Amino acid sequence: MRGKTFVSILSSLALLTSCANFKNADSSKLTTQDVLNTYSEIVYSNYDDTLKAAEVMRVSIGNFINNPTQQNLAIAKKAWKVGRESYGQTEAFRFYGGPIDDNDGPEGQLNAWPMDESYITSLIQDPNFDINRENLSEANERGGEENIATGWHAIEFLLWGSDSNPYGPGNRPVSDYISSAYADRNAEYLITATDLLIDDLQSLKQEWKDNESNYRSVFENGGDNSLRKIFISLGSLSKGELSSERLNVAVFSQDQEDEHSCFSDNTHRDAVTNALGVRNVWMGEYNRPDGSQVKGPSIHDLVMAKSPDLAKETTSQINRSLILADQIQDPFDQEILASFDSAGPKRILAVVNSLEDQADMLVSSASAIGIKNLTLVEP
């Protein structure tokens, strides 16, 4: 489902791409420090918005648990999808050992996939497993990386159930929270996983809060090393993660289990929001759900000052990837299960190829401003 705001953004992107009407900052006033400050504020605002959405989801899930009706389940599902719209854009802040994915980072606890849903079922059905945040955290990826016990996709499974339908999402019955032998533990697990997700988002927001002794203060004083991290993040998300792991693998495996959000069939939106996250950082522009905008000097502006043609080409490519990602159809299952010469796989592979070109241009853009020998993170 596309919101009016996002459709408007895509229309604007199409116009920008066709007219080559690109932002060009005053290079005489542009500093690396200003770019890092803009980036930090975008990161903080994006995590803040994701946290707010997760807190709304928590209320919706609480209402559903207290009054388990089909309508309240639908409201909780919608709140999950709204939260994913914000979280998907934060994926552009990964891959350089920042707060999200350093040795102590919560990325694997927030967004790990693919998951073996039978693992969560086994925990719920184990009377000796005490459902609390600490135990869920310890159980996550225990015995194998597919043993996901926490995060967005654990919550997704608990709301939608397994997806064995190639024409739509999972269809968990409300009775799982009413008359099932494990109804109480299903509810307890769902609310606990949501609380843990909120804890993790709060910690990320705190690390990027301004005027604190935190990661942001170190990052903003990192100069070219921090710029390098930004380019590594964007290039790695574009090529290794989104293009390869999330799209290309699913097309060639034709396996629903390789969908990023397989239970809800929300994978098409994951692709769009990830691509949008790259654009947010590149352009130094982030549109918040409340209608406000964070905007300032960006890495695009730094490249524009050194190599205008390359900056314009990279912007066009990033816009192209976003537009192509939005053309992936819902449900994603049908896109990947079709024959390779049909429209579905062709739409996805067009995004794959565009993202790979985008990553190469980002590496060239980094080189243009003196960030050499950029090594992207591969899956």
pLDDT digits (tens, 9 = 90+) for 45-90: 999 999 999 999 999 999 999 999 999 999 999 999 999 999 999 9
Distance CA 208, CA 133 (A): 24
Question: Cα(116)–Cα(119) distance, rounded to whole angstroms?
Answer: 6
CA distance linking residue 336 with residue 64, whole number of Å: 33
CATH numbers and ranges of domains, the chain: 4-368 (1.20.1420.20)
Query: Is the whole-model pTM more than 0.85?
Result: yes
**Nearest-angstrom CA–CA distance, 75 and 106:** 27
pLDDT of 10 reads 56
CA distance 68 to 59: 13
Task: Give the range among 20-24, 34-38, 125-129, 228-232 with minimum mean pLDDT.
Answer: 20-24
The candidate with the shortest Cα–Cα distance to 365, out of 293, 290, 315, is: 315
Over residues 314-319, the mean pLDDT reads 99
Residue found by looking up tokens 């080409």 in the block: 313
List C-alpha distances in Å: 196 to 114, 189, 286.
19, 10, 26
Distance CA 54, CA 372 (A): 39
pLDDT > 90 fraction of the chain, expressed in percent and rounded: 86
Work out the pLDDT band at 19, boundaries 50, 70, 90.
very low
Residue type, 229: K
Cα–Cα distance measured from residue 362 to residue 349, given in angstroms and rounded to the nearest whole number: 20
Backbone angles phi, psi at 168, to 5 degrees: -175, 180
320 touches 278 (CB < 8 A): no
